[in-house]
Structures are given as C-alpha cells and as structure tokens.
Chains A and B, each alone.
Chain A
Amino acid sequence: MELLIDGFLKAFGLLFSMDREVFSITLLSLYVSGLATFISLVLGITFGTLLALTEFRGRNFLVSLINTGMGLPPVVVGLFITIFLWRNGPLGFMHLLYTPTAMIVAQAIIATPIVMGISLAAMQSLPQKLRFQILSLGATRFQMFWLLVREAKLSLLAAVMAGFGGVISEVGASIMVGGNIKGYTRVLTTATVLETSKGNFDIAIALSIILLFLVYLINLVLTLIQQRERPR
C-alpha cells in the first residue's frame, strides 16, 4: 500500500517539477502513438469503408485477414519489423531500426487492422440503401464517402479510441524496434518496464499513473466529441 502512495507522490513530484526526462518521455509517447493512430485512422477508415461498399472476388478472404489482424500479437509485429529493418536485412539501408520512426511504423501496423475492422463493421451496419440514396442526390463518390463516414461517426470514433488504446499501451514491439534508448526511443510504457526490471517500483508506478492519466485525458476528449454528436 505504501508503495502505491509512494508512487502517487512520486508521480506528482515528477510532473510538477517538470522533470525533463519524464516530460520528454511523455511527449514522445504522445508523438509516436498519436502519429501512429492518425495513420491507422486514415488507412483504416478509408479501406474499411471501401471494403464495406464494394463487392469483388476474394472479398470475404480479405475481411477474414483483417479480422485476424485485429488480434495480431504486437510482439510478433515487432519481431518481423526488426528482422526487416536489421542492417543486414532487406530494409537495412533505410537505417530505421532503433528510431522513433520504426516505432511509429510498428504501432501503425498494429492499430490499422483494428481501426479497419471496426470501420468495416460500422459502415456495413449502415442501411444498405443509404448509399444509393446519397448517390441519387447527385453526390460524387468522394462526397458520398464523407457523408457515410459522418453517418457512422459514433462507431468510427470508437474505432479510433480502440486503435489509440491499443498502441499507447503497447510495449513489446516498441522495445524491440525502438531499443528503449534513453532520450530517443524511450516512451512511457517501455520506461515503466525498464524501471520495474531495475526494481524501482515507485518510479514505475509514477510512470504508470502518468500514462493512465494521459490515456484517460485523450479518451475523455474523444468521448466528448463522440457523445456530443449522439442523436438526442
């Protein structure tokens, strides 16, 4: 119990003293996961919608792949990306291993199937004829896409929250492709793991609290947006 209280106190201490390292770790967490979520949002909603609205051979197979992707173990993603980005690996020339960019890529790969899968389901649950109604009003394909996305806003925001939640809390892939390098690729989750394994439980708890707070704040904002649009 005292450990938890210690942790809380330490958390506030770190925050208020604007400890530079904690600050940079937090900022990096936001940057990496935020960017990854944004990428997954764009790719996920676009392709999820496209898939929902089109018919073609092998579509069911593709959908099953996406649904599998939703449960893709992040650690597996991390492993494969690491192998690809190794100096002597196929993409070694890009020198991306142990950089924040690699972390963004890994997290985007983890989040995109989640966003895509939920978007697909959201768009498919819109009334079938709605698409035709919108087209009959003279909408271009682009306009139709936007109108349908707006209609499915509630579910799509849930998809974004799911994607973000999945990556801000991710640690396995982030350590593997990022290397947990101090001041460069260390984020809240990887720093927590480090401090825990060192036995610095109070710092670990402090970082966890900061992480939880961050996640809560962001989800609060998204929830407010989502619920504001709800039909009253």
Chain B
Amino acid sequence: MDLLVAEGIKVVRGGKVVVEVEKFVVRSGETVALIGPNGSGKTTLLMTLATLLKPMEGKISFKGELLHGFSQALHYRRQLACVFQEPLLLDTTVFHNIALGLKIRGMPGGEIKNRVENYADLFNITPLLHRRARKLSSGEAQRVSLARAFVLEPEILFLDEPFANLDAPSREVLIDDLACILKKKKVAALFATHDRSEAVRFADRMAVMTGGKILQIGSCEEVLNHPINEQVASFVGMDTTFWGKVVSVKDGSALIAVSQKLIEIIGYFEVGDIVFCGIRPEQVILSQSPLGKDTSIRNNLPATVVEVSPRGSFYKVTLDCGFPLTSYVTTRSLEELSVKVGMSLNASFKATAVHVMKHGRP
C-alpha cells in the first residue's frame, strides 16, 4: 500500500527553486534509493518528506491522511525516524542517546531499558551502552544513530548518506548489517546516496535526481540498464553513449552507423532514424581477437586502449573504436590480457546490451 505520497512539492531557498518533484511515493516495506550527485537536492527532498523543512508548495499524505499543520505533522514525525550523515549524538551516554526518542514519547523507564538493550544488541553496540557518546569512533557513533532510529520501531525510515563519513571497512560492515536488519524488520525506507553500489545493495526501487528534479524512478534493473536520457545514463554508470543512424532493419533488429562503424541493435526502427544509445561497461568484453561466430555476440569492434584506471576490485578501461567505449574488467583479466595504454584489442558486446534512449526522424 502507498505509505507516503507527496505531490507537487516545490522547495524554494534564497529565491531559487531547489527541489521540484511532481509526485513521489514510498510503499510500505519497500526501500527506495534516491541517488544523485552532491547538490542535487536529495537532502532537501528527504527533509521535506520528513516534514523537517516546509515546502513552498506541495501536499504530503501519510497512510492516506493529508498532513497539514504542525501538530498533525508531529503525529507523523512520531512514526518516522531519520539518520543523517553525521551521527548528531547528544553529550550524554550512549544509552541515553538511544533512549531519547522513547523518552520524548513518554515511555516508562522499564520498557525503555528493554527496548534499548535489544536494539543495542541488534547493532552490536551493547558494550558501549554506558560510554559517553562523544568518545566513540565514527563507525560506532553511526551505529548508535541507527540504533536510536530503529529503537522507535518507525513505520518509515529516512537515511541521508549515512555511510558517507565512514572509513571503508566500517562502511562495509555497517552496510551488511543494515541491509540484513532492513530486510528483517520490513520497515519502509527512503535512502539518499551518491554511491550507486550502496543503492543497489539496499533498494527495491531507485530514483535518480539532479538539479532538484527526479529524472527517472523505477526498479534498479530498469534504471541501471534502461536510463531514459543521457543525464541519467551518466549518473548510473552507463559511460558509453553515442548517436547513430539506422542504415538497415530486419526482423526486430537494426544496423546503425556510428562513426563509420556498424553496430547491431534490437528494436523496431525505420531506415533513416536517428538513435541515441548507451552500453553499460560491464557488458563490454575485451579480447585479443574478435569473438567468433559460435557465440551470441553480434558486435566486435577493433579498439585502442586510451586509459586504464583502477576502481577498487576492477579496472575501468576506456577505449577508442571510432567512438569512446568503456569496459570494466577484473584485475586478473587485465593482467592476463596485458592491457596497456595504446595497445589494440577487440571490444565486443551483444546487440541486446545496446540500450536505445531516444530515437526519431532527423
């Protein structure tokens, strides 16, 4: 069911429109990732949906009831919880920090103690309960912040780049833990991040936001593999994009001319159509020689390596095959193929890997 529905949201700051979203829905139990570069308005949208900021225009409904007025918003706020980038803990013990929301709601002391202990255990911070919050490491502090949010057993959770300030090992562990807990507790969540991989870990649905507007919203598969335009494509990591002209069609597939090369794609087009396409780098395969006819790969292009840059557990190889093409290869493959800048390789990808974003007549 639709838990949170926001319509016509417009947030203005300093005379400028910083967020303009026509409709945004979060369903019960689902996790929605809000991704976008810094400054895209994610935090503003998040805080507006949590009624921490007042929009210039717009309506928000929770569980079917329209929210207006501060007191009604208070009732709503007691059913949600927020976790921000900074832990924002108060200068008291960890126990009191976690208990804060419960105390605010007037819960009796004994019950508070139980709940706090349970959730501290859930986040593996029980030994920290009587330490002063200011003395924790950033990883520990963020766990406390999460525990503080979950202890309220909210209906909906708002997370604003909760792992951005953590070092890599803490992040990894915490992401795992959080993913697990979210699944177990079945609480709805709206999660803002600029890191695609985080989004993919948690999200049922993904929304791409830039310049205050939501460009595309859909399942992860949809958004990552079928971005609707170049902006989204570049943000979801579909680094290879190009224009082409349809030169021949046949049975649901077509040949397009791109910088004097011919590429096979699928879809129903007419000769002469102009198309704008993208290919995900994971789907570009590099080899010494063209991949043979005994594979389902329809496209083989000779290419020259332009740049090789490490990306943690894999490498991003940028090639020139008449137009720029990007591929992700594992470290092992890189070594086995002895990929070096300037060398010639074969780049291949399936026709189905080419995603057409736009097409029309010239």
Q: Do chains A and B touch in the complex (CB under 8 A)?
A: yes
CB-based contact B158/A137 at 8 Å: no
CB-based contact A136/B104 at 8 Å: no
Query: Please, which residues of chain B bring their CB within 8 A of the CB of A139?
Result: 104
Given known A-B contacts A132-B82, A231-B134, A137 and B101 have beta carbons under 8 A apart? yes
CB under 8 Å from chain A, chain B span 76-135: 77-78, 80-82, 84, 86, 88, 90-91, 100-101, 104-105, 132, 134-135
Query: Please, which residues of chain A bring their CB within 8 A of the CB of B81?
Result: 136-137
Say yes or no for A140: interface residue by CB 8 A criterion: yes
CB-based contact B88/A151 at 8 Å: no
Q: Count of A-B contacts with CB under 8 A? A: 50
**Min CB distance, B330 to chain A, in Å?**
40
Given known A-B contacts A132-B82, A133-B88, A231-B91, A138 and B52 have beta carbons under 8 A apart? no
CB-based contact B132/A231 at 8 Å: yes
**Min CB distance, A117 to chain B, in Å?**
23
Query: Please, which residues of chain A bring their CB within 8 A of the CB of B88?
Result: 127, 129-130, 133
Given known A-B contacts A136-B52, A137-B152, A138-B101, A151 and B91 have beta carbons under 8 A apart? yes
Q: Which of B90, B101, B104, B135 contacts A151 (CB 8 A)?
A: B90
CB-based contact A132/B104 at 8 Å: no
CB-based contact A136/B90 at 8 Å: no
CB-based contact B86/A138 at 8 Å: no
CB under 8 Å from chain B, chain A span 132-165: 132-133, 135-141, 143, 147, 150-151
**Min CB distance, B20 to chain A, in Å?**
21
Query: Please, which residues of chain A bring their CB within 8 A of the CB of B47?
Result: 132
**Min CB distance, B65 to chain A, in Å?**
17
Say yes or no for B74: interface residue by CB 8 A criterion: yes
CB-based contact A136/B134 at 8 Å: no
Say yes or no for A198: interface residue by CB 8 A criterion: no
Beta-carbon nearest neighbor of B85 in chain A: A129
CB-based contact B91/A143 at 8 Å: no
CB under 8 Å from chain A, chain B span 323-360: none
CB-based contact B52/A127 at 8 Å: no
C-alpha gap A199/B222 in the complex (Å) = 93
CB-based contact B90/A129 at 8 Å: no
CB-based contact A136/B158 at 8 Å: yes
Say yes or no for B50: interface residue by CB 8 A criterion: yes
C-alpha gap A141/B105 in the complex (Å) = 13
CB-based contact A232/B132 at 8 Å: yes
Most buried by B among A133, A135, A140, A143: A133
Query: Please, which residues of chain B bring their CB within 8 A of the CB of A231?
Result: 91, 132, 134-135
Query: Please, which residues of chain B bring their CB within 8 A of the CB of A136?
Result: 50, 52, 77, 80-82, 158
Query: Please, which residues of chain A bring their CB within 8 A of the CB of B148?
Result: 137
Beta-carbon nearest neighbor of B78 in chain A: A138
Query: Please, which residues of chain A bring their CB within 8 A of the CB of B52?
Result: 132, 135-136
Give 14 pairs: A residue, B residue, CB < 8 Å, sorted on A. A136-B50, A136-B80, A137-B81, A138-B74, A138-B77, A138-B101, A138-B105, A140-B74, A141-B70, A147-B90, A147-B100, A151-B90, A151-B91, A229-B91
- Chain B contacts to A: CB under 8 angstroms: 47, 50, 52, 70, 74, 77-78, 80-82, 84, 86, 88, 90-91, 100-101, 104-105, 132, 134-135, 148, 152, 158
- Chain A contacts to B: CB under 8 angstroms: 127, 129-130, 132-133, 135-141, 143, 147, 150-151, 229, 231-232
- Which 5 pairs across A and B sit closest by C-beta, in order of nearness? A136-B82, A138-B78, A137-B101, A133-B88, A132-B52
Other A-B pairs beyond A132-B47, A133-B88, 14, CB < 8 Å: A129-B86, A132-B52, A132-B82, A135-B77, A137-B148, A138-B77, A138-B101, A138-B105, A140-B74, A141-B70, A147-B100, A151-B91, A231-B135, A232-B132
